[in-house]
Amino acid sequence: MKNFMVAPLSLIVLLGALGLTGCGGDGWKKMSIDGASVSFEMPEPIKQVEDQGMVMYLAQKPEQKMSFRVGILKRNFEEDQKSNVSDEKVLTNFAQRVLQANQQQFAQMKMPCEFKFNGNFPVEAGFGQQYQAKVGKAFVLDRFYINKMGIYYVECTTQDSNHPDIARFLASFKP
């Protein structure tokens, strides 16, 4: 699996959650990605970036101090099987790299945080893991999913974790 750099994206997401950026939209768009089984909804406008093999979709609602992120990394399932590497190990390694990069970025912004593991959860044709952290005034929730086609990273950053847009975003994600 390729290494990638997600730390600079953490800055964009955190600034949006803290209300320090100026883009956003009222409408939501359902995303279905060609060549992947994944679908999700995000508020528009949606920015797409690629970082060393991972395609990232970013959206913000600065008026509510919220940011949303979905990362998609193609998986070589056959290679993992030949190497006798379990889905749980692949996903845990991926999650730890992403979380470590995020922690480093937040620390550089003088906002240290510690992500806490909330457990594994089942999903259709795979499973997921959930982590959360408090960063300044913001709550960061990271979910990671794995199936035969890919590894997925879903993040929401907000000052109001009970806002219905957070629930809508998380419920809409289907790996």
pTM for this model (two decimals)? 0.82
**Whose structure tokens read 């979910």?**
143
Could you read off the pLDDT of 17-34 as tens digits, one per residue? 433 333 334 599 999 988
Look at residues 17, 43, 40, 45 and name the one whose alpha carbon lies nearest to residue 30.
40
Separation between Cα atoms, residue 108 and residue 105, nearest integer Å: 5
150 within 8 A of 74, measured Cβ to Cβ: yes
Domain count, the chain: 1
pLDDT band at 8 (very low <50, low <70, confident <90, very high): very low
Q: What's the domain range around 18?
A: 7-172
Residue 2 within a domain: no
Domain harbouring 15, CATH code: 3.40.1000
Sign of the dihedral through C-alpha 73, 16, 11, 161: negative
Residue 1 within a domain: no
